[in-house]
Amino acid sequence: MLAVRLCFGLATLFLVSLIIFFSVGLLPGDYASEILGQGATPEAVMRFRHELGLDQSAIHRYLVWLNGIVHGDLGRSYASHDGNVRMVADVIGTRLQNSFFLAGVTALIGVPLSVALGITAARFQGGWLDRGMTSAALAAVSCPEFFMAYLLMLVLSVNYHLFYSLAMIEPQMGLGTKLMRIVLPVLTLILIISAHMMRMTRAAVLDVMAHPYVEMARCKGLSNTRILLRHALPNAWAPIVNVIAFNLSYLVVGVVVVEVAFAYPGIGQTMIDAVRTRDVPVIQACALIFAATYIVVNLVADAVSIATNPRLMHSR
């Protein structure tokens, strides 16, 4: 089962690489013309395009790029002219680490918090606590990322000066300093993903609680808390894990808006900068990393779902 899903994941990644490569080629503008300016002669533009390999056919450039990807070479950035060679891996390496750092801190806080809140809401279904948590989660889900980011920045940074408004971090900073710098983006992401995960966890637990074996457990006199933790929760892990995987993917793939809002030096900000400068190899590498992250996280979620529910290993 996992081998089949792994094959599907690789096939999906291959198709995504095709879409990425040929879609990026449709971006308006030309890097050579942008760099050389309007005063450049056609000969100079052609010579520069030849230096970058842009005069080759799209199929040839794709095969060269794919061969490099298979061998771990993301290629050279278009900003490598003037004798200054910049590899794409060097351009995005530190930024990717920053994005994983932001995602990791958010996940360590947000995932346990969301699951605990969802279980609590299911435990007190229909009560004032459940209604309040559900309403707050719905309000958080309804807020766009940029609105949440700027609202927290206004209240907690501009008005009360509690945290940094810009999350600028450097490699030489200590862990404590980095954590202080990223409080607002982490808080923004937690509010966004926790609302969704909490609601889905609550729904998954309530769905399992409606099964006949739960009614049988109640008839035996077991407490609601024991039924929830010992009987319902283990059978609700599969949908909960899938929701967690979706939100973990978002922390890397969909965090672009938050990184831009707080000027955080992550891979999302790098991709935006590459789009502005038409640095196609960097754009392609970032997009491929996003796709690979999403596929890998979902494969891990499938593995965890199968491990928690062995019935999924056998076809019906």
Locus of tokens 């920053």: 98
> What pLDDT score was predicted for residue 81?
59
Residue type, 61: R
Beta bridge partners of 87: 76
Gap between the Cα atoms of 243 and 140, Å rounded? 17
Task: Tell me whether residue 20 is in a domain.
Answer: no
Structurally, the chain folds into a number of domains equal to 1
For 76, list phi and psi in degrees, rounded to 5: -105, 140
Domain contains 146: yes
Q: What is the CATH number of the domain that holds 267?
A: 1.10.3720.10
**Which amino acid, one-letter code, is at 276?**
R
**pLDDT at res. 232:** 82
Asked if the structure places residue 57 within a domain, the reply is no
Give a yes or no: residue 59 inside a domain.
Answer: no
Predicted pLDDT at 1:
67
In a domain, 66, yes or no: no
Q: How far apart are CA 287 and CA 18, in angstroms?
A: 11
- 76 three-class SS: strand
Please give the pLDDT value at position 80.
66
Residue with tokens 């969301």: 114
Alpha-carbon distance of 20 to 242, in angstroms, equals 25
Q: What is the pLDDT of residue 68?
A: 92
Taking the chain (316 residues) in consecutive chunks of 10 residues, what is each chunk's mean pLDDT? 83 93 79 72 82 85 92 85 77 92 94 93 90 91 90 94 92 93 95 91 90 85 83 83 88 86 92 86 92 89 75 57
Q: Is the dihedral of CA 228, 193, 20, 78 positive or negative?
A: negative
pLDDT, position 24:
83
Instruction: Give the pLDDT of residue 310.
Output: 60
* DSSP letter (8 states) at residue 211: S
pLDDT score for 253:
81
Domain residue limits at 216: 89-313
108 lies in some domain: yes
Report the first-to-last Cα separation within the chain, whole angstroms. Answer: 13
> Looking at this protein, which amino acid is placed at residue 123?
R
**Both structure tokens of 75:** 């290629």
Residue 269 lies in a domain: yes
In a domain, 124, yes or no: yes
The confidence score (pLDDT) of residue 250 equals 87
pLDDT at 133: 93
DSSP 262: T
* pTM, to two decimals: 0.88
